[in-house]
Amino acid sequence: MAKRSITETSPIEVYRLLPRTNCAECGEPNCMAFATRLVNRELALESCPPLAHPEYAEALAALEALLAPPVRAVLIGTGDRECTIGGKYVVQRHEFTYHNPTACAIAVDDSAPLDVLQARVRAADSFSYNYIGRDLGIDAIAVRSTTGDPARFQAAVEAVQQACGLPLILCSPDPAVLRSGLVSASDRRPLIHAADRTNWQEMGGLALEFGCPLVVSAPDDLSGLRSLVRTFLAWGIEDLVLDPGTFPGAGLARTLRNFARCRHAAIRGEDDLLGFPLLGAPIAAFAGEEMDPIRCAFDEAITASALLSRYADLLVLQGTAGWSLLPTLFWRFNLYTDPRKPVAVEAGLREFGSPDRNAPVLITANYALTYFTVESDIKSANLSCYLVVADTGGLSVESAVAGRYFSAAGIAEAMASSGIADRVDHRVLVIPGLAARLSGEAAEATGWRVLVGPKDSSGLGPYLKERWPPGPA
């Protein structure tokens, strides 16, 4: 029977396979609500305790088959730092949503002195950037054998493990070199890179012996890739990652075409042999004749962003400079944000600085980008004030005003629920300049005097310096 898209799966189909006891052990009021959330990938089958009972074993197997993604999920690493890649259901993000954000790995070479190698690993592990309330960082370390020396590679793998707990990718075309690294890191469940047409037997043996996921590599040869995958599946090796080849610069179009063909074949063509996570190697930008480090890092960033858009589930990177790495992390965050759910912060009252009973009272929307921009501008201006965050459904001020999610009634409700009236002695509210047309209605609805602030929150410092405390009405 042909596989069906997750978007074609009905909650009724899932409901019929559930115990239908309405026991609420999953946290939902009934089994139909649980089925709906399963189809939306908001809950997992493990959330239903009765399904673990032996009498539901057949139903559980049917549910797993019904809800299985066309692109299999592969786990790298162990413990709280483990990383899941793949597990994709759709080609286009708007069809459903993307799950399991693309993992970004920083490469280190065994030719580097061990102290230098460890310093680079620690820097990658500690890299963190807060972007609209989310901490963005690195997900794995790729240890590459550039010396071809098994002892040197083993020492490098051990040094990396001492420096961080991130999942590992062990990279070498030589099975003997990889074995030396696997002996030291087998308990970390590293990803083995890579099996190709020259070493597939030895690499398959390592994957079976150490129980690790395996990268299958056939650059620019999808027919050869499928052939290798068929062989490994016959061996019982199912945790596979595909490497169709990465060719930066003039070869980028060819690279993207191969990645797109793999993903379309897996999801829309129901090709089980290509239904695995895809590995991209933007680090290849550093392997060409052009060795200017700035130019190489620029090409790597372009390649990484393009591969994110064309279905890469794992990226191996070289550059760690903020200007080259952050665009990739920003784009990954935006691409893997659920389009059905605006990025929002919790509504309520926030305090900045040391506000007293005469401090300014501001209000804004709960769209995350709006809120964190306002927060940053308030802190930059060193203001002491209160900020009421209204629930606008995750929309920005301008969009929420147009859609009536940010209205006089909504402002009044936000003010009342925040308890701000008990915090200050005055009754003056500053609303965003983009909501200026609500000033009169908001004054009537709240009973507060309403001032129209700047359209851009970067102007709050000069605005309040000039107009606060406000004069007579």
* CATH number for the domain harbouring residue 160: 3.20.20.20
Q: Are residues 31 and 153 in the same domain?
A: no
- Do 414 and 376 touch, CB atoms closer than 8 A? no
- Do 387 and 350 touch, CB atoms closer than 8 A? yes
Give the Å distances, CA to CA, from 415 to 266, 351, 366, 387.
51, 14, 14, 10
Domain edge (last residue) among 20, 45, 67? 67
Tell me if 209 is assigned to some domain: yes
Q: Are residues 163 and 288 in the same domain?
A: yes
- β-pairing verdict for 314-317 and 103-109: parallel
Q: Are residues 355 and 243 in the same domain?
A: no
pLDDT for the residue numbered 2: 46
Q: Position of tokens 């590679």?
A: 153
Tell me if 342 is assigned to some domain: no
Q: What is the pTM of this model?
A: 0.80
Q: Are residues 49 and 186 in the same domain?
A: no
In angstroms, the CA 373 to CA 362 distance is: 14
Q: What angle do CA 72, 182, 87 make, to 5 degrees?
A: 10
- Do 160 and 81 touch, CB atoms closer than 8 A? no
Residue 439 falls in which region: left (phi positive, over 0), alpha (psi -120 to 50) or beta: alpha
Q: Are residues 453 and 327 in the same domain?
A: no
Cα pseudo-dihedral 267, 272, 274, 278, rounded to 10: 70
Q: Are residues 140 and 247 in the same domain?
A: yes
Domain edge (last residue) among 67, 99, 115? 67
Domain count within the chain: 3
Q: Are residues 231 and 269 in the same domain?
A: yes
Residue 29: which CATH number? 1.10.15.40
Residue 444: which CATH number? 3.40.50.11600
Tell me if 473 is assigned to some domain: no
Tell me if 102 is assigned to some domain: yes
Q: Among 297, 290, 294, which Cα is nearest to 319's?
A: 297
Q: Are residues 440 and 376 in the same domain?
A: yes
pLDDT for the residue numbered 406: 92
Tell me if 21 is assigned to some domain: yes
Tell me if 341 is assigned to some domain: no
Phi (first) and psi of residue 352, to 5 degrees: -130, 135
Domain edge (last residue) among 335, 361, 377? 335
Whether the bond between 194 and the residue before it is cis, its omega within 30 degrees of 0, is yes
pLDDT for the residue numbered 288: 67
Q: Both tokens of residue 272?
A: 């089980």
Q: Are residues 211 and 277 in the same domain?
A: yes
- Do 327 and 306 touch, CB atoms closer than 8 A? no
Residue-number span of the structural domain to which 388 is assigned: 348-467
Give the Å distances, CA to CA, from 275 to 225, 247, 267, 269.
12, 22, 7, 10
Tell me if 472 is assigned to some domain: no
Determine the residue type at 82. E
- Residue 422, SS3 per DSSP: helix
Q: Are residues 32 and 86 in the same domain?
A: no
Q: Are residues 93 and 153 in the same domain?
A: yes
Whether the bond between 469 and the residue before it is cis, its omega within 30 degrees of 0, is yes
- Do 88 and 5 touch, CB atoms closer than 8 A? no
Q: Are residues 149 and 274 in the same domain?
A: yes
User: Which pLDDT tens digits describe the chain residue by residue (473 residues)?
Assistant: 445 555 567 888 889 999 999 998 888 999 999 998 888 777 778 889 999 899 989 988 888 888 888 899 999 999 888 999 999 988 887 777 778 899 999 999 999 999 999 999 999 999 999 887 788 999 999 999 999 999 999 999 999 999 999 999 999 999 999 999 999 998 999 999 999 999 999 999 999 999 999 999 999 999 999 999 999 999 999 999 999 999 988 899 999 999 999 999 999 888 999 999 999 999 999 986 667 888 899 999 999 999 999 999 999 999 888 899 999 999 999 888 877 777 888 999 999 999 999 999 999 999 988 999 999 999 999 999 999 999 998 889 999 999 888 999 999 999 999 999 999 999 999 999 999 999 999 999 999 999 999 999 999 999 999 988 887 76
pLDDT for the residue numbered 133: 75
In angstroms, the CA 261 to CA 282 distance is: 19
Q: Both tokens of residue 464?
A: 């309040």
Tell me if 343 is assigned to some domain: no
Beta bridge partners of 389: 348, 364
**What end-to-end distance do the CA atoms of the chain give, in Å?**
74
